Amino acid sequence: MRTIELRGNEVILIDQTQLPQRLVRVRCRSAGEVAAAIEGMKIRGAPALAAAAAMALAVTALRSRARTKERLLRELESAGRRIGRTRPTAVNLFVGLERALSAARAAPDVASARAAVVQEAKNIAEEDVRVNRRIGENGAALLDVGDVVLTHCNAGSLATVDYGTALGVIRAAHRAGKKIKVIATETRPLLQGARLTAWELRREKIPVTVVTDGMVGYLMAKGMVDKVVVGADRIAANGDAANKIGTYSIAVLAKEHGVPFYIAAPLSTFDPNLKTGAEIPIEERRPEEVIFFRGVRVVPKGVSVFNPAFDVTPARYITAFITEKGVVKPGELSKLFKS
Amino acid sequence: MRTIELRGNEVILIDQTQLPQRLVRVRCRSAGEVAAAIEGMKIRGAPALAAAAAMALAVTALRSRARTKERLLRELESAGRRIGRTRPTAVNLFVGLERALSAARAAPDVASARAAVVQEAKNIAEEDVRVNRRIGENGAALLDVGDVVLTHCNAGSLATVDYGTALGVIRAAHRAGKKIKVIATETRPLLQGARLTAWELRREKIPVTVVTDGMVGYLMAKGMVDKVVVGADRIAANGDAANKIGTYSIAVLAKEHGVPFYIAAPLSTFDPNLKTGAEIPIEERRPEEVIFFRGVRVVPKGVSVFNPAFDVTPARYITAFITEKGVVKPGELSKLFKS
């Protein structure tokens, strides 16, 4: 089951706001519709956003009436700007856009440019699945039989095209017979851990227990967590990593309790242009995400709310990165980017 | 406005599950009704539970038809056992019961025993308000002009008979013109921070911003928190302190960022019978509190949930305790209990 697919001249994606109640797919017929789906969190997760961005351009290309390559490029660039304004933190979204645009630019004429964008969107999706499987294999070796692994938010199938990064590691270890148990933090405000991670793991009969975000310290103090594996949205050259808000708190707690803290992410999540995490743009989302819960007000009127969607975990808290090229410590990141 | 009162032969209390939507009072006409209100979190907060426990016995005494002191004592002890089974962690509940029972036992006959229980319940309530004001004054001296104070859960008027412990400190500093700003963690699963702390502070025009529990690390890393002040449910002889789940995580983060971490609590919250926090019983509550959010399922069916209601912060993370007898470091606690 793919989280997102290009089918004909439509992008078909699972509406993640409806889970766990309903497994519903929505169709997007334009870049604008894909952009709205991204803004509304129908699709989220850094690797999935790379595919969504490229597919948005593919749909634009397929529906374009442009008769010249230049005209098509202008339409694609306009669509790309719209997609680029949706969410600032996950670098993969911009990588997906740039790959699709570059493919079009390199083509000799309008017909081949159109085909190249579509092909590149498909390539990104297929690569994502392959890369996640490799991340899974590489990370599974770090997990021991019977480990209890804590994960935050959702870095699973639903955050990617399929298989997942952090949950890919857990899946691979599970399939290798390691009898892994998972603790999923519910991940306020949008509850991706409770709604999405628990749903994915339950479908595959991987044992999962949901806790609130505030319980992590207690669980670690009780010795109930063996390892932490999470995903990332953007990783700076020095290894500082942005991920869903709450990740940094978990990393500090892991260090305090001697629990290894791993980030599973494809190379496309690394942004070597940024020296440190201080340069990563952090999205602030609408306060209503915290104020209302499915329409019920939980914060009194007139009270302000702060709603950053991500935080940055400094490299010193990260035991290692699990990538498709292997497991790499923060101090050794430059290895990954040598040609 | 009192959170809980003995009026005639009824206990009148604010139903905190209805806030912030509705300010509703409920009447309890028996110890069983008080016990149900405690179990259902209509009333909560360690100091408020001392008053609730004693008032439950007062109502029992006032409605009793016992003609002998022995018979009355048996009824009070039975009511006390019911109250004692409601919630295990906050020691104040047991202190309240014991004080009311001791008053009855010390009386010469049934009429004076009845009167003594009622008087003791009233004494506990009046003392609570006085003690909180002293805690407030003592703690306000620790806060500087313009401080941003983070608090967790609700240690306010609603957790006490009136005024509050942690929020009493904030109120006293605010009234002294210190221009305090408050960050209230929403406090999952029952959202006492978002619903109750924000509501209380908003009523008094003390600036308050609500954040999710997972945002604390990010806020501290950004230098947005000057001090942490929270309440407690039971404090062991060595200074280890049980408080609402999530407190320990905040304490670890505070230490990591050099942010002072204070616990504001009356002496009645100290339990010198327990050597360390490992002996404090930690209540586990129904998984449904996490699974459903105001009636909407957020955790998929078949997924397990762990729901401890408290955690224990070891004394080494606590900068000082703010009590009615002054501000005391964990290593100096024995001073408090010298006669």
Residue range A287-302: mean pLDDT, rounded: 92
* Residue B170 shares a structural domain with residue B273: yes
Instruction: List the domain range (segments joined by +) for residue A189.
Output: 143-337
The answer on pLDDT for A297 being more than 70 is yes
Cross-strand partners of A235: A241, A270
- The half-sphere exposure of B67 on its side-chain side, counting CA atoms within 13 A, is 0
Q: With CA atoms as reference, report the closest residue to B185 among A189, A23, A282.
A: A189
Q: What is the pLDDT of residues A149-190, one digit of tens each?
A: 999 999 999 999 999 999 999 999 999 999 999 999 999 999
- Residues in chain A with CB shorter than 8 Å from the CB of B307 are 211-212
The label of the residue with tokens 């009136």 reads B162
* Per-residue pLDDT at B334: 87
* Per-residue pLDDT at B4: 98
**Residues of B numbered 242-271 whose beta carbons fall under 8 angstroms of chain A's beta carbons: which are they?**
245-246, 248-249, 251-253, 256
Q: What is the pLDDT of residues B108-140, one digit of tens each?
A: 999 999 999 999 999 999 999 999 999 999 999
Nearest CA in chain A to B152: A214
pLDDT band at A339 (very low <50, low <70, confident <90, very high): low
Cross-strand partners of A28: A11
* Per-residue pLDDT at A334: 87
* Residue A168 shares a structural domain with residue A123: no
* Per-residue pLDDT at A295: 83
Size of interface A-B (CB pairs under 8 A): 185
CA distance B189 to A212: 7
* Residue B202 shares a structural domain with residue B124: no
In a domain, B138, yes or no: no
pLDDT band at A296 (very low <50, low <70, confident <90, very high): confident
Q: What is the pLDDT of residues B205-221, one digit of tens each?
A: 999 999 999 999 999 99
* Per-residue pLDDT at A265: 98
| A126 close to B (CB below 8 A) | no
pLDDT band at A1 (very low <50, low <70, confident <90, very high): confident
* Per-residue pLDDT at A328: 97
Domain boundary among B133, B152, B167: B133
Token pair, residue A280, equals 């990563």
Q: Which residues of A are catalytic?
A: 233
* Residue B129 shares a structural domain with residue B147: no
* Per-residue pLDDT at A47: 97
B229, B169 contact by CB (below 8 A): yes
The answer on pLDDT for B3 being more than 60 is yes
CA distance A330 to A240: 8
Token pair, residue B146, equals 């313009």
* Residue A201 shares a structural domain with residue A252: yes
**Strands A227-230 and B310-313, sheet pairing:** unpaired
* Per-residue pLDDT at B5: 98
pLDDT band at B296 (very low <50, low <70, confident <90, very high): confident
The reply to whether residue B214 touches residue A217, judged by beta carbons under 8 angstroms, is no
The reply to whether residue B217 touches residue A249, judged by beta carbons under 8 angstroms, is yes
Determine how many CB atoms are found less than 10 A away from the CB of residue B27. Answer: 12
Radius of gyration of chain B (CA): 20
Residues 6+ apart with CB under 8 A from A303: B198, B199, B201, B202, B208, B209, B210
* Residue A159 shares a structural domain with residue A248: yes
CA distance A47 to A265: 9
* Residue A33 shares a structural domain with residue A153: no
- Residues in chain A with CB shorter than 8 Å from the CB of B291 are 210
B45, B155 contact by CB (below 8 A): yes
pLDDT band at A66 (very low <50, low <70, confident <90, very high): very high
* Residue B251 shares a structural domain with residue B219: yes
Nearest 5°: the CA angle A272, A273, A275 is 80
The label of the residue with tokens 């892991």 reads A254
Least confident of A289-293, B256-260, B313-317: A289-293
In a domain, A138, yes or no: no
* Residue B181 shares a structural domain with residue B90: no
Write the CATH number for B42: 1.20.120.420
pLDDT band at A335 (very low <50, low <70, confident <90, very high): confident
The answer on pLDDT for A81 being more than 80 is yes
CA distance B291 to B200: 27
* Residue A160 shares a structural domain with residue A83: no
Average pLDDT value for chain A: 97
Residues 6+ apart with CB under 8 A from A30: A56, A59, A60, A63, A79
CA A233 to chain centre: 6
Domain boundary among A114, A133, A152: A133
pLDDT band at B1 (very low <50, low <70, confident <90, very high): confident
* Per-residue pLDDT at B220: 98
* Residue A173 shares a structural domain with residue A126: no
pLDDT band at B223 (very low <50, low <70, confident <90, very high): very high
The answer on pLDDT for B339 being more than 60 is no
Residue range A218-241: mean pLDDT, rounded: 98
In a domain, A219, yes or no: yes
In a domain, A21, yes or no: yes
The answer to whether ipTM exceeds 0.95 is yes
Residue range A57-86: mean pLDDT, rounded: 98
Least confident of A96-100, A330-334, B242-246: A330-334
Domain count, chain A: 2
Nearest 5°: the CA angle A79, A80, A85 is 105
Domain boundary among B78, B106, B133: B133
* Residue A148 shares a structural domain with residue A266: yes
- Residues in chain A with CB shorter than 8 Å from the CB of B20 are 297-300
The answer on pLDDT for B204 being more than 80 is yes
**Strands A148-151 and A181-185, sheet pairing:** parallel
Radius of gyration of chain A (CA): 20
A280, A216 contact by CB (below 8 A): no
The reply to whether residue A214 touches residue B300, judged by beta carbons under 8 angstroms, is no
Write the CATH number for A175: 3.40.50.10470
| B305 close to A (CB below 8 A) | yes
